[in-house]
Amino acid sequence: MACALLVAVSCTTGRAPIREENVPETRAPLIRAEADQAEALARFSQFLLLQEEHPESARLPDVLQKTVDGDPESLDFRLWLGNAYLSKGRAVEAIPGLEEAVRRFPDSDALHYLLGLAYEAAGRAPEARRVYRRVIARLPAQPDAYVRLAGLALKDEQFGETFKLLDEALRKVSDPPAILSVYEVLGEQFLAAKKPWLAAVCFDRIVERQPDNLPAHEWLMKCRLAAGDRPGAIRELEILAAADPARVQWLHLIGELWEEHGDAVRAAGCYEKALNSPAALPETFIRLALIQCRSDWGRGLETLRAGMTRFPADPQVAITAGALFYQAQKFKDAIVTFEEAEARIKALGSGQPLPYISPFFYFWYGAACDRDGQAARAEALFEESIRRFPEISEAFNYLAFLWAQNSINLDRALEYSRRALAAKPDDPAYLDTLGWVLFRQGKLEQALVPVTRAAEKADDEEIAFHLGVILEAMGKPVEAVTWWRKSAALNPAGPAAALLRQRMSAPERKP
């Protein structure tokens, strides 16, 4: 994360001048120091060649060590050696030489920093901190040592100390963006580690210094959302929406957050603004329509029709409109709308991903056909739902119940009922379906168990009616009447109430 303190060393060599022939060459004998220096330079040249041809060679530090031994007064060679040891993961071996180098060259800030890196890599954190503090005292405008110290604090999960060091760096360094980049990386890491409150601190620092940094505002919005700070997320989204009106997803997301907050009026206002953009989303029409349907069903349907016109190739809005018709028990209208959605789905082609609500499309479509008396069509649609989305247990349960009601395909009905219960083993409706299938198969004792469990879990008029029918078939008319009365109390217009009225009006048989 830090900007490395790099020391560039260059070696230049020149050609010997051209000598005239027959001129005797004279050369003064080299003194010992010069000879050692020449040998050191030769070894350094050997190091450079080895580094160029075999940069991964483990011998590089060893070659440099001989160079330093030949010329211990060269600061440059010391720096090269320290970097070589560290690059090969040999920090422990680097430390003695770096300590000796720091004593020999106490004014070299680069050597101090390298020594701190070596201490840190060797796991000697207290000594590393001491050296980094010394570097900061000498070079308060350089970011590297601040960042290394902050990293050590972070490793110990001393988050307050981490932020304190980075904030100090922001005030003092000559390149604040370098520290802001550290905050950015740190914020992303905190968010990935599911620590959004700490990530928010990081991105807060960035937007304080760079208020026009929209990516930072977006990251901060994600942090607020992950931390459950809905008002804070909305504030960031409003900044994003104002700065980039073309990205209507910001307005849409604001609407979703207000909706989650229970403020449908503000949510609808955001959705309506988003729909004014040429880049409006199908989901926005759906969200707005569902809010409008709470108070004005017709208005919500108009919004969905507008969405179907705006997005003639997208099936999502049509699917939602069909579902609303179904909920309003306008089954013929639901079927017509579902047919339109089906045509759009087919037009997408098999290679296109289906809309995210398609798993329930076939279920709703089939249920509408069933309620409209189109049993064969309903059965085919439920089978299509099962084929495409076998994880949707509702289709298994509905079709099993449909077959049980008509006393057909009972073996498959039993299989489908059990598959539904495997997904939701405690669902009262699913338990009732299993019992009703078993009843139709004549397995009365087995049927009684799941329907009784269902009745214990839910006060449902249909479950109570089925339990009464099973009990009567088992020769327990008194208990049956008790459950039919309960069913009739829950739904005075249901089959149990009609059955009780019929029995009360029937004349007594004479012996």
Give pLDDT tens digits for 241-275.
999 888 889 999 999 999 998 999 999 999 999 99
Q: Which residues contact 388 (CB under 8 A, 6 or more apart)?
A: 354, 358, 359, 362
End-to-end CA distance of the chain: 99
Hey, what are 140's tokens? 């308060």
Region 8-37 average pLDDT: 39
Q: How far apart are CA 393 and CA 288, in angstroms?
A: 29
Q: Does some domain include residue 424? A: no
Q: Where does a domain end: 139, 171, 203? A: 139
The pLDDT-based confidence of 224 (bands split at 50, 70, 90) is: very high
Hey, what are 378's tokens? 């309903």
Mean pLDDT over each residue of the chain, to the nearest integer = 86
Give which of 223, 266, 206, 214 is closest to 245, Cα–Cα: 214
Q: Does some domain include residue 147? A: no
Q: How many CB atoms lie within 10 A of CB 377?
A: 16
Q: Does some domain include residue 82? A: yes
What pLDDT does 43 receive?
Answer: 53
Under DSSP, the state recorded for 475 is T
Give pLDDT tens digits for 269-328.
999 999 988 889 999 999 999 999 999 988 999 999 999 999 998 898 999 999 999 988
Region 223-234 average pLDDT: 94
Containing structural domain, residue 328: 313-389
Q: Does some domain include residue 349? A: yes
Q: Is 122 helix (H, G, I), strand (E, B) or coil?
A: coil
Q: Does some domain include residue 61? A: yes
Q: Give kind and range of the element (H or E) at residue 107.
A: none
pTM confidence score = 0.66
Q: Which residues contact 53 (CB under 8 A, 6 or more apart)?
A: none
Q: Where does a domain end: 119, 139, 159? A: 139
Q: Does some domain include residue 357? A: yes
What pLDDT does 49 receive?
Answer: 58
What pLDDT does 351 receive?
Answer: 61
* Domain containing residue 84: CATH number: 1.25.40.10
Phi, psi of 506 (to 5 degrees): -70, 135
What pLDDT does 506 receive?
Answer: 56
Under DSSP, the state recorded for 392 is -
Domain count, the chain: 2
Region 184-195 average pLDDT: 95
Concatenate the DSSP letters of all residues of 167-180 into one string: HHHHHH-S-HHHHH
Q: Where does a domain end: 96, 122, 139? A: 139
What pLDDT does 53 receive?
Answer: 55
* Between 3 and 376, the higher pLDDT residue: 376
What pLDDT does 353 receive?
Answer: 60
User: Positive or negative CA dihedral for 284, 290, 294, 299?
Assistant: positive
* Domain containing residue 363: CATH number: 1.25.40
Give percent above pLDDT 70 in the chain: 84
Q: Does some domain include residue 382? A: yes
Give which of 343, 378, 374, 344 is closest to 362, Cα–Cα: 378
Q: How far apart are CA 104 and CA 119, in angstroms?
A: 18
Under DSSP, the state recorded for 182 is H
Residue 335 has pLDDT above 90, yes or no: yes
Give pLDDT tens digits for 445-478.
999 999 999 999 999 999 999 999 999 999 999 9
Amino acid letter at 296?
D
Q: How far apart are CA 450 and CA 429, in angstroms?
A: 10
Q: Does some domain include residue 364? A: yes
The pLDDT-based confidence of 48 (bands split at 50, 70, 90) is: low
Q: How many CB atoms lie within 10 A of CB 511?
A: 3
The pLDDT-based confidence of 80 (bands split at 50, 70, 90) is: confident
* Rounded alpha-carbon distances, angstroms, from residue 9 to 48, 59, 435, 501: 11, 20, 86, 105
Hey, what are 445's tokens? 């004792």
